[in-house]
Amino acid sequence: MNITDIRTKSPLVLTYANFVTPQFVANVVNVVGASPLMSRELAEFKELAGIANAVIINTGTLQKVEINDIIKLSQEAYQLGKPVVLDPVAVSVPFRSKAITQFLASGHVDVIRGNAAEIAWFADIDFASQGIDATGKGDVIEIAQRAAKKTGAVIALSGACDVVSDGQYTQTLDINVEQLSSIVGTGDALSSLIGAFIADGLKVPNVMNAMATFKLAGQKAATKTNQPGSFTNQLLDELFVIDNIDVQNFVKESVLNHG
Amino acid sequence: MNITDIRTKSPLVLTYANFVTPQFVANVVNVVGASPLMSRELAEFKELAGIANAVIINTGTLQKVEINDIIKLSQEAYQLGKPVVLDPVAVSVPFRSKAITQFLASGHVDVIRGNAAEIAWFADIDFASQGIDATGKGDVIEIAQRAAKKTGAVIALSGACDVVSDGQYTQTLDINVEQLSSIVGTGDALSSLIGAFIADGLKVPNVMNAMATFKLAGQKAATKTNQPGSFTNQLLDELFVIDNIDVQNFVKESVLNHG
Amino acid sequence: MNITDIRTKSPLVLTYANFVTPQFVANVVNVVGASPLMSRELAEFKELAGIANAVIINTGTLQKVEINDIIKLSQEAYQLGKPVVLDPVAVSVPFRSKAITQFLASGHVDVIRGNAAEIAWFADIDFASQGIDATGKGDVIEIAQRAAKKTGAVIALSGACDVVSDGQYTQTLDINVEQLSSIVGTGDALSSLIGAFIADGLKVPNVMNAMATFKLAGQKAATKTNQPGSFTNQLLDELFVIDNIDVQNFVKESVLNHG
């Protein structure tokens, strides 16, 4: 889907959210015209996955007792043909590494959205100790491609240079909007936004479309304010009115295709 | 109470909140001059209901293990003579239907605040399949009245046309402020706001007073901004300064009495 | 640390947050240049305390089953030499009194941040019934000093007049910024901010530095807007750009030393 389709069809985006940023995430989903829904109750996952168009699993504040729940949620979504986006916040912390390993072994995932350090974990690349420069475009492409091959998922690596890769086909968007990291929750919101964009089919360009929409809105917001408090609201305002033609032009001008 | 009373007496509003919008809800309660308090701990419900002036139960992200807790909370409030407002988010999802049915059977409720689809569930009207137009004023009046008769609660149906009904006496406020649905949490906030307005007695006009205050603040905010990010803050700002005389004039001009 | 050090060293602030205001707290920590991290999972406390520079325990929505978890978290932090800040929201409610008593008996705490009523509980002063005027400077100094002596912790009493005391040495900042209480979460945010400022050593002036930074940012924000919605964002914006020299001048001019 593109932003116009989302406004017309209003896909239902079910997010298993962390407890830090759920309102911002729900607002981002809402302002683009999709419908946000959140739950942590196993007993309703089948019902909710049934009416949802995409399922997002954010492990930013996951607890041990929840690991089986997110596995089950991903399985329900898979059986119902709904795409699953995983947001593995701070996955390199040992407890979280174990939880995500368990999730990958028994659960199902279609897209993994994370920053360079998080995606490097899936690629078995020791991000911190090898001193890989996350701002180097070559590095982040390699990280994303390797992670895609290892997991079988489409990788959405967000940062100064956004990379989307299914292991074979890779797209990059090398435009940095610093303000996007001045506030918390932009990564979480992007993961749920990707859910809306892949509601009618998972392809690398659909995922990149979500990332380009978010980054363009961020770029527009940044021309109006440099400061984090005002930027938060400005970002929501830009997402609310962003024009599909502007997004498509932005993609044409700025997104590069790699093999 | 009206907004002036709330500013003077600062009623304590205890909300069993969902995990998505608690900060916005607390801010709305706070800016009108009431005191927000939130808890999910059964062991302190009696104490907190004792010092609270109203109790709000929001089931937006309710879990199975919490059903008995909210029943108990409503019972404690009832025994202490504190009004209970229920916000049954997405009640027509089967798991939630069962939870609310269980709550209605053993718990206590004075006001149910929901949108037309949610209130229709209490009225045993199949909202989706019968194609009832939630923007039709006749329909929402019927939905609210039937739900009031079936539950014995005062119904606060919010939307393009707000309806408050105890089954016999009904008031409507047929002014749409679209921006109120451009952000998440406005329904949740309205439910807790109603708690403040009924802290000194539950009557249909008190509930309508809360809805009119919220809608007028929304209308004022909408004259200053059309966009969701800025609207959120503007709404809080308008609620902070809204004048009781303005609200009373708004009620006189725009609220209709039915039977 | 001062604000410049925080921007340079980006200390990791681990907060055991309440569920009402975590995003605002995380944003405050983030905009000053520190790194916010939140968790409620016992199994990762040791790992997270290991990489954190300070640990904040906020009991604003604590549940019974969590009491042992926060005790354990404080012990892990202590053994790893990381300072622990306690934010005992509404501690005088009996359930919460018991929980905090249990925490003080088995856990570890370096700083307690609360308003006058909350700190009075630790000082064994019956705040409400004795009619102590929380705006009276003499009273809040006595409350803070007594609480420090009774608990052995550094007390950070925030309000119209901020007081920091270790029982022997006391500093006050007697400048009221009313707008700081017009929004929820400012106390929670201040507690986590203190964590960043004491990451390299716990001293009364470091804690006061955090409080002065927050109050000066609030004062600057209040010159630009009087209303709560806009104030929230303005406060974040001011914290983002606040200058260390301005803070130090503010401290020199406005902070008084007592004994």
Q: Report ipTM (2 d.p.).
A: 0.95
Q: Tell me if chain B has a CB within 8 Å of the CB of A36.
A: yes
Chain A residue at shortest CA distance from C232 = A229
**C135 pLDDT higher than 60:** no
What average pLDDT does the segment B173-187 reach?
Answer: 95
Lowest-pLDDT choice from A143-157, C17-31, C121-135, C178-192: C121-135
What average pLDDT does the segment C186-211 reach?
Answer: 96
Q: Tell me if chain C has a CB within 8 Å of the CB of B22.
A: yes
Chain C residue at shortest CA distance from A94 = C47
Please judge whether A44 and B93 are an interchain contact, meaning their C-beta atoms are less than 8 angstroms apart.
Answer: yes
CA distance B235 to B105: 37
* Answer CATH for C3-258 from 3.40.1190.20, 1.10.3210.10, 3.40.50.1970, 1.10.3470.10: 3.40.1190.20
What average pLDDT does the segment C228-238 reach?
Answer: 95
Q: What is the pLDDT of residue A104?
A: 98
Tell me which chain B residues have a C-beta less than 8 angstroms from the C-beta of A39.
Answer: 61
Q: Distances from the Cα of B18 to the Cαs of A59, A92, B61, in angstroms?
A: 18, 30, 5
Chain A residue at shortest CA distance from B65 = A41
The residue behind tokens 């909140």 is B17
Distance from CA of C259 to the nearest CA of A (A): 39
Of A26, A48, A234, the CB nearest to B184: A26
Per residue in A13-64, pLDDT (tens digit) is 999 999 999 999 999 999 999 999 999 999 999 999 999 999 999 999 999 9
Per residue in B4-51, pLDDT (tens digit) is 999 999 999 999 999 999 999 999 999 999 999 999 999 999 999 999
Q: Tell me if chain B has a CB within 8 Å of the CB of A65.
A: no
CA distance B102 to B86: 13
Q: Tell me if chain B has a CB within 8 Å of the CB of C59.
A: no
Of C23, C64, C182, the CB nearest to B23: C23
Q: What is the pLDDT of residue A136?
A: 54
Distance from CA of B53 to the nearest CA of A (A): 27
Q: Tell me if chain A has a CB within 8 Å of the CB of B175.
A: no
Question: Would you say B38 is a known binding-site residue?
Answer: yes
Q: Tell me if chain A has a CB within 8 Å of the CB of C232.
A: yes
Q: Tell me if chain B has a CB within 8 Å of the CB of C232.
A: yes
**B253 pLDDT higher than 60:** yes
Q: How confident is the model at residue C90 (pLDDT cuts 50, 70, 90)?
A: very high
**C129 pLDDT higher than 50:** no
Please judge whether A93 and C241 are an interchain contact, meaning their C-beta atoms are less than 8 angstroms apart.
Answer: no
**B255 pLDDT higher than 70:** yes
Tell me which chain C residues have a C-beta less than 8 angstroms from the C-beta of A60.
Answer: 38
CA-based angle C231:C3:C172, to the nearest 5?
Answer: 75
What average pLDDT does the segment A60-70 reach?
Answer: 97
**A243 pLDDT higher than 70:** yes
Calculate the CA A128 to chain-centre distance: 22
Q: Where are the alpha helices (DSSP H) in chain B?
A: 3-9, 22-31, 45-51, 67-79, 94-106, 116-122, 137-151, 186-197, 204-224, 228-241, 244-254
**A134 pLDDT higher than 50:** no
* Percent of chain C whose predicted confidence (pLDDT) is above 70: 96
Of C21, C24, C227, the CB nearest to B240: C227
Q: Tell me if chain B has a CB within 8 Å of the CB of A209.
A: no
Q: With contact defined as beta carbons under 8 Å apart, do A49 and A73 qualify?
A: yes
Q: Distances from the Cα of B142 to the Cαs of B86, B123, B136, B139, in angstroms?
A: 20, 9, 10, 5
Please judge whether A44 and B95 are an interchain contact, meaning their C-beta atoms are less than 8 angstroms apart.
Answer: yes
Chain C residue at shortest CA distance from A179 = C31
The residue that leads in pLDDT, C80 or B259, is: C80
Q: What is the pLDDT of residue C137?
A: 62
User: Which of C45, C63, C179, C240 has the most A C-beta neighbours within 10 Å, making it the best mutation to test the interface with A?
Assistant: C240
Q: How confident is the model at residue C259 (pLDDT cuts 50, 70, 90)?
A: confident
Local structure of A172: helix, strand or coil:
strand
CA distance A9 to A3: 10
Question: Would you say A107 is a known binding-site residue?
Answer: no
**B248 pLDDT higher than 70:** yes
Per residue in B104-127, pLDDT (tens digit) is 999 999 999 999 999 999 999 977
CA distance C113 to C100: 13
Sheet-wide strand order for A111-114: A35-38, A12-16, A54-58, A84-87, A111-114, A154-157, A162-165, A170-173, A255-258
Tell me which chain B residues have a C-beta less than 8 angstroms from the C-beta of A26.
Answer: 20-21, 184-185
B249's CB contacts (< 8 A; 6+ apart) are none
Q: How confident is the model at residue B227 (pLDDT cuts 50, 70, 90)?
A: very high
